[in-house]
Amino acid sequence: MIIRRAEPADFDAIWPLLRDVFRAGTTYAVDPQINKSAARRYWMTTAAATFVAEDRSGIIGTYYIRTNQPGGGAHVCNCGYVVAKAARGQGVAARMCIHSQDEARTLGYHAMQFNFVLASNAGAVRLWHRLGFATVGTIPDAFAHPALGMVDAYVMYKRL
């Protein structure tokens, strides 16, 4: 697997990954009916950088880095990660997160913050803790999960 900066032409391969995750409505606070054009803006245009993970089969994951807050908070970045269903459980998210931390340092960020990690996303919570992120806050009943009802969201943070 390699991780490289995404090119505009990659979005046709990225879109199905995003579409499936967003449509499920279980991990991202994104309109489940988001269209391809709006998803492109969200994932590619507003990011400081977007990357893809690929193997011989093609693009199997993607992530973005963006400034979490402007002005005095601009030294902290935020990232979002999506892994293709067929590639889950193979360490793709962990490798992308490690890669994103190196890229964030290169881009001049001093810390990384995940604003909205759902408590119901136990695999992600475990992974982010294993990679050194601390849960620094809990937002009670922050997300209307389609199967679980109201679930908490965590704010997670790591100095780079």
Please, are residues 91 and 103 in contact by the beta-carbon 8 Å criterion? Answer: no
Neighbouring C-alpha atoms within 13 Å toward the C-beta of 43 = 33
* Count of the separate structural domains present in the chain: 1
22 in a domain, yes or no? yes
pLDDT one-digit tens code per residue, 2-37: 999 999 999 999 999 999 999 999 999 999 999 999
Instruction: Give me the sign of the Cα torsion angle 128, 130, 136, 142.
Output: positive
94 in a domain, yes or no? yes
Residue 8's Cα: distance from chain center in Å? 18
pLDDT one-digit tens code per residue, 108-120: 999 999 999 999 9
84 in a domain, yes or no? yes
121 in a domain, yes or no? no
Which stretch of DSSP H or E encloses residue 143? strand 134-145
- Quote the CA–CA distance of 160 and 157 in Å, as a whole number: 10
Supply the CATH number for residue 27's domain.
3.40.630.30
Average pLDDT of the segment spanning 126-144: 98
34 in a domain, yes or no? yes
Question: Shortest CA distance to 78 belongs to which of 38, 125, 116?
Answer: 116
26 in a domain, yes or no? yes
The parent domain of residue 59 ranges over 2-112
154 in a domain, yes or no? no
Looking at residue 75, its pLDDT comes to 98
142 in a domain, yes or no? no
Looking at residue 127, its pLDDT comes to 97
- Is the pTM higher than 0.75? The answer reads yes
